[in-house]
């Protein structure tokens, strides 16, 4: 089953002990375009009204699963420019960097 993994790396600094991490797993909707799925992943990993990673009322979504235990913390940050979204299928994994506008495919 195809899914997406959001990787937070824009503000993480390995030299300071904060490596990039997989923040979320998101169901890929085959009825939407690739672009729409990427936009969905970005939108539903935003803290606009409350916490997406704690699956709260406004910014939580049933298709989004936090991959980090947030039970003893405020939650995860919003996805930002420089973070990654991986589209993972049985055939391949494609990676996109969140750009100032849209997404740019990258080779990891």
Instruction: State how far the Cα of 58 lies from the Cα of 52, in Å rounded to an integer.
Output: 8
* Residue 51: pLDDT over 90: yes
Query: What pLDDT is attached to residue 13?
Result: 85
Task: Give the model confidence (pLDDT) of 3-27 as tens digits.
Answer: 999 999 989 888 888 899 999 999 9
Report the predicted TM-score, pTM, of the whole model to 2 decimal places: 0.95
Q: What is the pLDDT of residue 16?
A: 86
At residue 108, the pLDDT reads 75
pLDDT per residue as tens digits for the range 63-102: 999 999 999 999 999 999 999 999 999 999 999 999 999 9
Neighbours of 23 (CB within 10 A): 23
**CA-to-CA distance for 99 and 83, rounded, in angstroms?**
8
């Amino acid at each position: 089953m195809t899914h997406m993994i959001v990787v937070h790396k824009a503000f993480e600094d390995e030299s300071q002990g904060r490596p990039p991490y997989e923040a979320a797993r998101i169901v890929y909707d085959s009825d939407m375009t690739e672009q729409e799925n990427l936009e969905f992943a970005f939108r539903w990993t935003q803290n606009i009204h409350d916490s997406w990673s704690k699956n709260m009322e406004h910014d939580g979504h049933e298709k989004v699963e936090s991959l980090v235990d947030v039970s003893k913390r405020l939650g995860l940050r919003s996805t930002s420019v420089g973070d990654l979204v991986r589209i993972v299928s049985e055939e391949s994994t494609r990676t996109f960097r969140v750009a100032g506008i849209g997404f740019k495919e990258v080779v990891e």
